């Protein structure tokens, strides 16, 4: 749950840093999972095989930077659909603290927008051009959506931390092309948002943001979970599609609640005693046992992209 002061800060500035949101043991588990996912990733955007010669399922989940330094090869910079790719991440998605925090910003009827993982490899991680998220299909709304960025490693100016223009979420749709033409790549009023491992940066999708290249020897990984208020997507997408995305939350809560750590998972919290308590426990009624095919369909429903 966020305090009124935190909510006010978020609304005024368009972003908020939540210090030490996840415990070290949880961050270690995320790191192990991501190390494995990256190790088993396809070699490049045009090769379905990984470095062990295995064919990778859904290779389109992996994006690579094409602006690689000469001779280095393509560098992985994003993994999409992480909830479909990892039981551990799906379970963490149902973390009560996370869901309660989302609900305190978006209301308890929030709907997941999309999930992805940004990876900035040492010395090569690519920049993200200045942008506002989404397509403004439904016009500019102050509460158009929220991104939660979970930091698995410290993020610094040197390793290409997130940079934002505070309060720019109040500017409507910004002509960033002309801003860059006028000011060059370092926009006026831009500030870096350096954070520690375990911190979460919450930002409004209308906020002007991006990041520079990773010039350092340090890896940066951020897991992004995005959410809308349900009313934002109602009437824009078919209600079946919105329902499908919403079911992801129910599925994650189920995984979180049912998880029984085994010996080697003892650093993962035992969650059963801490079942999620959202303002209106609406997700509880939607939890039922799904077939493997139904689960895949839900976990791979397209993002609610506006
Ligand atoms: O984490 C970053 O450096 C920026 C990522 C971003 O803005 C995005 O994925 O839209």
15 lines ligand 1 (CB under 6 A): no
> Which ligand 1 atom is at minimum distance from the Cα of 224?
9
The rounded Å distance from CA 284 to ligand 1 centre is: 32
Cα 160 to averaged position of ligand 1 atoms, centre (Å):
10
Q: Whose CA is nearest to atom 4 of ligand 1?
A: 210
- Tens of pLDDT, residue by residue, the chain (306 residues): 899 999 999 999 999 999 999 999 999 999 999 999 999 999 999 999 999 999 999 999 999 987 555 656 788 999 999 999 999 999 999 999 999 999 999 999 999 999 999 999 999 898 999 999 987 777 766 667 999 999 999 999 999 999 999 999 999 999 999 999 999 999 999 999 999 999 999 999 999 999 999 999 999 999 999 999 998 899 899 999 999 999 999 999 999 998 876 655 555 554 444 445 554 455 655 556 789 999 999 999 999 988
Q: How far is the CA of 179 from the centre of ligand 1 (A)?
A: 19
- ∠ Cα 56 77 138 (to 5°): 100
Q: Which pLDDT does position 278 carry in this prediction?
A: 56
The minimum-distance atom of ligand 1 relative to the CA of 160 is 3
Give me ligand 1 centre to Cα 210, in Å. Answer: 6
Site to probe by mutation for ligand 1, drawn from 126, 205, 209 as the one with most ligand atoms within 8 Å of Cβ, is 209
Indicate whether residue 86 lines ligand 1 (CB < 6 A): no
Q: What is the pLDDT of residue 273?
A: 43
Q: Whose CA is nearest to atom 10 of ligand 1?
A: 133
Third-level CATH fold of 4-299: Jelly Rolls (2.60.120)
Measured in whole angstroms, how far is the alpha carbon of residue 42 from the centre of its chain?
Answer: 21
Tokens of 268: 């993962």
**pLDDT score, position 201:** 98
Q: Is the CB of 211 under 6 A from ligand 1?
A: yes
149 in Cβ contact with 227 (< 8 Å): no
Domain residue ranges in the chain? 4-299
Please, are residues 85 and 37 in contact by the beta-carbon 8 Å criterion?
yes
Ligand 1 contacts CB of residue 115 (under 6 A):
no
Closest C-alpha to 75, from 36, 116, 127, 125: 125
pLDDT of residue 73: 76
What letter would DSSP give residue 226? E
Tokens found for residue 97: 């603290």
What distance in angstroms lies between residue 272's CA and the mean position of ligand 1's atoms?
33
The residue whose C-alpha atom lies closest to atom 6 belonging to ligand 1 is 210
Q: Which atom of ligand 1 is nearest to the CA of 162?
A: 3
User: How many Å from the N-terminal Cα to the C-terminal Cα in the chain?
Assistant: 27
132 Cβ inside 6 Å of ligand 1: no
The dihedral sign for the CA sequence 165, 79, 155, 89? positive
Ligand 1 atom closest to the Cα of residue 163 is: 3
């Amino acid at each position: 749950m966020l305090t009124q002061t935190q909510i006010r800060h978020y609304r005024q500035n368009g972003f908020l840093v939540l210090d030490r949101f996840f415990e070290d043991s949880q961050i270690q588990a995320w790191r192990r999972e991501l190390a494995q996912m990256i190790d088993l990733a396809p070699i490049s955007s045009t090769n379905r095989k990984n470095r062990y010669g295995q064919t990778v399922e859904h290779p389109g989940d992996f994006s690579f930077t094409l602006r690689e330094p000469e001779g280095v090869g393509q560098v992985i910079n994003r993994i999409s659909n992480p909830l479909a790719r990892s039981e551990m991440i799906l379970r963490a998605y149902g973390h009560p603290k996370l869901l309660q925090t989302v609900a305190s910003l978006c209301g308890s009827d929030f709907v997941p927008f999309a999930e992805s993982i940004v990876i900035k490899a040492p010395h090569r991680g690519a920049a993200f051009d200045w942008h506002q998220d989404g397509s403004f299909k439904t016009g500019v709304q102050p509460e158009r959506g929220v991104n939660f960025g979970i930091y698995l490693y410290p993020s610094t100016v040197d390793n290409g931390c997130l940079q934002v223009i505070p309060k720019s979420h109040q500017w409507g749709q910004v002509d960033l092309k002309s801003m860059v033409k006028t000011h060059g790549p370092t926009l006026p009023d831009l500030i870096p948002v350096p954070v520690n491992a375990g911190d979460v940066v919450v930002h409004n999708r209308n906020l002007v943001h991006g990041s520079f290249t990773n010039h350092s020897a340090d890896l940066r990984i951020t897991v992004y979970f995005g959410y809308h208020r349900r009313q934002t997507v109602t009437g824009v997408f078919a209600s079946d599609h919105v329902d499908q995305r919403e079911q992801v939350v129910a599925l994650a809560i189920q995984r979180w609640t049912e998880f029984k750590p085994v010996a080697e998972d003892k650093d993962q919290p035992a969650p059963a005693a801490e079942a999620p308590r959202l303002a209106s426990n609406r997700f509880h009624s939607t939890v039922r046992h799904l077939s493997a095919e139904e689960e895949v369909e839900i976990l791979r429903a397209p993002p609610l992209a506006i």
